[in-house]
Amino acid sequence: MYVEMCIMRTSSARKDEKMLAVTEYSVELVKDPFRILPGKRYEFVIELDLDEEDELYSANGIEIKAVYKVDGEQAGVVSYGLYEKSTGRYIDAELEDEEEAALAEFCQAHYAEGED
């Protein structure tokens, strides 16, 4: 499924704005049979389509693995990591504040799909 994700990136090489596009994603409810942790957690795997000029670009593809928590009226991204898709190698980088906010919005819009 191809979905536009409203995240703007500024390339350090060209200093212009870039749009990250979600080319595919999955979401699953993380089971907690002993109810050790309050609320529900959802694991997202979000594949990105990046421009070659983007500092995060890799020919192997890039994906975000995120954990999103919903506890009553409170919800948000608990953690995320960037990975090369084909190798699974962790990329030691962080999203910018606006990108993190957009990631949270994306997860908010799609976490219910993990209930199916």
The mean pLDDT values, 10 residues at a time, for the chain of 116 residues are 40 39 93 88 94 89 96 95 96 90 94 90
Q: Which domain holds residue 22?
A: 3-115
81-108: buried (b, 16+ CB within 10 Å) or exposed (e) per residue? Answer: ebbebeeeeeeeeebeeebbebbbebbe
The answer to whether 81 touches 64, Cβ cutoff 8 Å, is yes
Let me know: does 61 contact 86? Beta carbons within 8 Å. Answer: yes
**DSSP strand E in the chain: where?**
3-10, 17-30, 40-49, 62-71, 74-84, 90-91
- Number of domains composing the chain: 1
